[in-house]
Amino acid sequence: MSALTDNYFTLFDLPQGFALDTDALEAAYRAVQSRVHPDRFASASDAERRVAMQWAAQANAAYRTLRDPLQRATYLLTLQGIDVGAENNTAMAPDFLMQQMEWREAIDDAVAARNVGALDALARSLRDDRRVRLAKLGDWLDSAAWQPAAEAVRQLMFIVRAEEDIAQRIEMLENV
């Protein structure tokens, strides 16, 4: 094993970019895990077992990050020194803020009406919107347009949370 790397793409010997061959990621992850799995170091020294555990933990974190497009985008921005700042940077384009309010109202109205069909339709609409935004995000990242990419990541984080909220509310309505 060589030294641990800070770059997840380097760890898996993949080109650094938003577009990612998921089959290559999967194969690289399995290859790294087979080399560093703690079971292979059961009879090794404490130091070697500790390093293997660090490698395995890093490989797991890298794999989770790179396989998810939104996490991968956030990671790519981090590599450029850009903190998305989703927790404390809520500034977004006015049209997206209006869209957020409309989505929230639609969710609340559908829940109040106990209309699972409306929630399903809204979830499909959000998924479609997310796909379009992810494609634009990939273009911005590939062209080093970091600030629009960072704003797109914040918007996508909202959309993902809204989708999760809808799923929870559908489950709640179906289990009552």
Output the CA torsion sign for 140, 156, 91, 78.
negative
* Number of Cβ atoms within 10 Å of the Cβ of 170: 17
Which CATH number applies to 8-67: 1.10.10.10, 3.40.50.450, 3.90.1170.50, 1.10.287.110?
1.10.287.110
Top-level CATH class of 94-174? Answer: mainly alpha
Do 19 and 138 contact (CB within 8 A), yes or no? yes
| Mean pLDDT of the 86-108 span | 85
Among the ranges given (78-92, 102-116, 130-144), the one the predictor scored with the smallest mean pLDDT: 78-92
Residues 28-46: pLDDT tens digits? 999 998 887 777 777 778 8
Q: Residue 133 corresponds to which tokens in the numbers above?
A: 């935004």
* Number of Cβ atoms within 10 Å of the Cβ of 167: 12
pLDDT at residue 2 above 50?
no
Side chain identity, residue 46: D
Domain ranges within the chain, ordered by starting residue: 8-67, 94-174
| Mean pLDDT of the 138-150 span | 94
- Whole-model pTM: value is 0.84
Do 29 and 6 contact (CB within 8 A), yes or no? no
Do 21 and 14 contact (CB within 8 A), yes or no? yes
